[in-house]
Structure 1
Amino acid sequence: MTGDYYTGQLLVATPALTDSNFARGVVLVLDHDHDGALGVLVNRPSELPVTSVLAQWSDLVCPPDVLFHGGPVATDSALALAEVPADGEAEPLGWRRLHGHLGLVDLDTPPELLAGGIRAMRMFAGYAGWSPGQLEAEVKEGGWYVVDAEPGDAFTTDPEGLWRRVLRRQPDELALVATFPEDPSLN
């Protein structure tokens, strides 16, 4: 991490974060700098198949092949996140690197130009956005844990279980948070 910027890391909602948009959410931070932050919720699949909204891309998305709720901002627009193979191979046309092997796909690019150049792809409706200093304040107030992302987190085949899995792999007391009940009043 450079300074207090979280690009490429995961924001994992703490149990104290009860906002329905983010409760038990896992956000992959796509961009974070002095102008603010942008990310997508990687554990919020919808029931809407990609074929019903972006059929031309359906062969390239990884399972589950549904549109994901990326966040509460611009929910009427789509964003495609894709992973390219290891370094040394040419970057596909229509793909822009964000961090490591992850980048955004220009959905105006013909899908066949990316077909052999990406390893995994996921579609998101909307995104999560923070104004300058807002995310840092939310982290400081205890709304988010900031943890390292692992390969595959953004493209997991079990997105609903990601919150617990990410917490479970953390060191010390943070791993115990994975056992926190969804409704503590029923405990």
Structure 2
Amino acid sequence: MEPVAGSLLVAAPTLADPNFARTIVLLLDAGNDGALGVVLNRPTELAVSSVLEPWAEVVSGPDVLFQGGPVETDSALAVADVAESWAEGEEPVGWRRVFASTGLVDLDAPVELLAPAFSSLRIFAGYAGWSAGQLEDEIAEGAWYVVPAEAGDPFLDDPSGLWSTVLRRQGGQLAMLATMPAEPGLN
């Protein structure tokens, strides 16, 4: 599968970079100029209310910021799923579709206008970014597996098992990797 907006990057078990070991990255943009995404399974302990108070009542649990990646960690990106009533109609102002009913939220938009449109929302500090050709090279080297995302992936209450869950549902050899211990030498 080609890396496109809305697909997931699953870190190979051998990817040792501590920024990405056992991560799942939702690609928000991918093209000839590079790619950008957020790590879905790295919650921090920092409450959203302490940084972006107006959005604290809107975020899905856990109500903490997630470490979106190592780039620009002092900036925030929000990913939201629109409520069923919006999914088929006109898109909410301040929201841009990435895949299915999931998209990016403009955090500068008024919360009171956007909140009713969302069924789920998560805020990420920083992002993961790749320059032109860099991600494709990493995929060719075997650092990442590209798989389709499912609607609920970005919004799990407990994202700690997301890496294994995504691998398992792929079937075949990828499903077998889900059981690989983090440190095979200790097995």
What TM-score range do you get, normalising by the shorter chain? over 0.9
- The CA distance in 1 between the partners of 2:91 and 2:5, in whole Å, is 20
1:8-47 equivalences in 2 (<5 Å): 8-47=6-45
Query: Which residue of 2 is the match for residue 96 of structure 1?
Result: 96
- The CA distance in 2 between the partners of 1:163 and 1:117, in whole Å, is 29
- The CA distance in 1 between the partners of 2:88 and 2:99, in whole Å, is 15
Query: Which residue of 2 is the match for residue 73 of structure 1?
Result: 71
CA contact (8 A) 2:82 2:117 kept: yes
User: Structure 1-normalised TM-score?
Assistant: 0.95
Runs of 4+ with >6 A deviation: none
What SS does structure 2 have at the residue aligned with 1:115?
helix
User: Structure 2-normalised TM-score?
Assistant: 0.95
- The CA distance in 1 between the partners of 2:186 and 2:92, in whole Å, is 50
Q: Which amino acid aligns with 1:60?
A: V
What SS does structure 2 have at the residue aligned with 1:64?
coil
Is 1:6 the equivalent of 2:4?
Answer: yes
- The CA distance in 2 between the partners of 1:163 and 1:88, in whole Å, is 30
Residue 106 of structure 1 deviates from its aligned partner by 1.0
Gaps of 5+ in 1: none
Q: Count matched residues.
A: 185
Aligned CA-pair RMSD? 1.1
Is 1:115 the equivalent of 2:115?
Answer: yes
- The CA distance in 2 between the partners of 1:13 and 1:5, in whole Å, is 13
Residue 79 of structure 1 deviates from its aligned partner by 0.7
CA contact (8 A) 1:26 1:41 kept: yes
Q: Which amino acid aligns with 2:111?
A: P
Residue 30 of structure 1 deviates from its aligned partner by 0.5
CA contact (8 A) 2:101 2:151 kept: no
- The CA distance in 1 between the partners of 2:3 and 2:129, in whole Å, is 14
- The CA distance in 1 between the partners of 2:98 and 2:146, in whole Å, is 18
Query: Which residue of 2 is the match for residue 152 of structure 1?
Result: 152
Query: What does the per-residue CA deviation read over 1:2-49, in whole Å, with 9 as the maximum and x for residues that have no partner?
Result: xx3421111000011010000000000000000000000000000001
Query: What does the per-residue CA deviation read over 1:125-183, in whole Å, with 9 as the maximum and x for residues that have no partner?
Result: 00000000000110110000111111100101111110011111111111010010011
Query: What does the per-residue CA deviation read over 1:42-62, in whole Å, with 9 as the maximum and x for residues that have no partner?
Result: 000000010110010011100
Query: Which residue of 1 is the match for residue 48 of structure 2?
Result: 50
What SS does structure 2 have at the residue aligned with 1:116?
helix
What SS does structure 2 have at the residue aligned with 1:119?
strand
- The CA distance in 1 between the partners of 2:23 and 2:98, in whole Å, is 21
CA contact (8 A) 1:92 1:118 kept: no
- The CA distance in 2 between the partners of 1:90 and 1:45, in whole Å, is 32
Q: Which amino acid aligns with 2:141?
A: E
Is 1:181 the equivalent of 2:185?
Answer: no
Q: Which amino acid aligns with 1:94?
A: G
What SS does structure 1 have at the residue aligned with 2:161?
helix
